[in-house]
Structure 1
Amino acid sequence: MVVLALIALAVAAAAPLIAAALPKLSGGHVQVPEWVSATVALPALGVAALAASRTTPVTGFALGATLVLCVLASATAGAPVVLATFKVARRQPDGSPAPNAGPLRGGRVIGVLERIAVAVSILAGWPEGIAIVLAVKGLARYPELREPHASEQFIIGTFASVLWAIAVCGTGKALIT
């Protein structure tokens, strides 16, 4: 079961990387929609969680692989999950036009760094680190949050990003303990 959990975590981590590399490798002939990575990563994380719940605590190489894969899966697969969450949140039931991509720029890089910091905090057994990451992010983005739709984009993106990192690291913690 440990091997299955590690393979599933690796699939969750690799899905966005493969989806991003396919257009470059195929010369632009193969385009992968953003939601495909999230559709692969979510069930892979579920499989990893189920397998992790049926194992004994890992040691040695498996422990190191678990830690590395958790941080990688948090960092890489979080972006497609956040983008899918944005797509769901932007649906307009009244037929009004959807807002543009949003006023906040640099969110992808900030999101990756945020998920890495959250994952490392959880795996290190220091949950207070999550509060520090969110406080720093909030203070850094504060001047931009007055623009239309900025606070909504900030809250939705942050919650989706952090929840993904927590879910991945919860699976990792199930393998470790």
Structure 2
Amino acid sequence: MTVLALLCLATAALAPLLALRPALLWPGAGLSVAGLAGAALAATAVAPVHGVALAATLVLTALAAITGGGPAVLVAFRIARRQPDAGPEPSPPPGPLRGGRVIGALERGAVAASILAGWPEGIAVVMAVKGLARYPELRNPNASEQFIIGTSTSVLWAVAVCGAGNALLS
């Protein structure tokens, strides 16, 4: 079962690569969620991992938290805009906040590291730093909505992945 849980975590970490193509956003995000759900279910039936499995769990959990959040945020934005997915459409125009993908990946990595290190208070530190850094930009139209949707989705994804990873660790 440990191997199955690790394979599911690897699926959750690698499935977002499908979402690099806009036409495969939904399948990539869905496969990532399915991998995360499979890892969480398989983790309930195993003893705590040790050795190589422990290292693999930590790496795959962090990787899944970092990579899977991007498609999750894009899906949340698409749902919030209520735009149909029919036909090939150009990628949506960038919002008022620049650098969101890189900042989001760093944010999810910091959230995952703080949870895996046993310091959940680190989430508050990450969100406070991000909020202070983005404060001047939040006065632009739609910026606050983009910030709240993106940050909330990103952090919730990282916490969910770390929950599945922690199930293997304890």
Q: Which residue of 113, 126, 134 corresponds with 1:120?
A: 113
| Equivalent pair of 1:35/1:83 in contact (CA under 8 Å) | no
Equivalent residues, number: 162
Which amino acid is 2:73 matched to?
V
Question: 1:31-70, aligned counterparts within 5 Å?
Answer: 32-70=23-61
Task: Give the structure 2 partner of residue 9 of structure 1.
Answer: 9
Which amino acid is 1:151 matched to?
S
State the 1:77 CA deviation. 1.0
Q: Identity over the aligned pairs, expressed in percent?
A: 65
Segments ≥4 residues shifted beyond 4 Å: none
Q: Which residue of 144, 153, 158 corresponds with 1:160?
A: 153
Q: Where do 5+ consecutive residues of structure 2 fail to align?
A: 84-91
Task: Give the structure 1 partner of residue 66 of structure 2.
Answer: 75
TM-score by length of 1: 0.87
Classify the secondary structure of the residue corresponding to 2:45. Answer: coil
RMSD of aligned alpha carbons: 1.6
State the 1:16 CA deviation. 1.8
Moved more, 41-50 or 100-109: 100-109
Which amino acid is 2:6 matched to?
L
Change in 2 beyond 3 A, CA 1:158/1:19: closer
- CA deviations 1:128-172 (Å, max 9, x no partner) are 111110001000000000011100110010010000000000001
Moved more, 37-46 or 83-92: 83-92
TM-score by length of 2: 0.90
CA distance in structure 2 between the aligned counterparts of 1:49 and 1:172, rounded to whole angstroms: 8
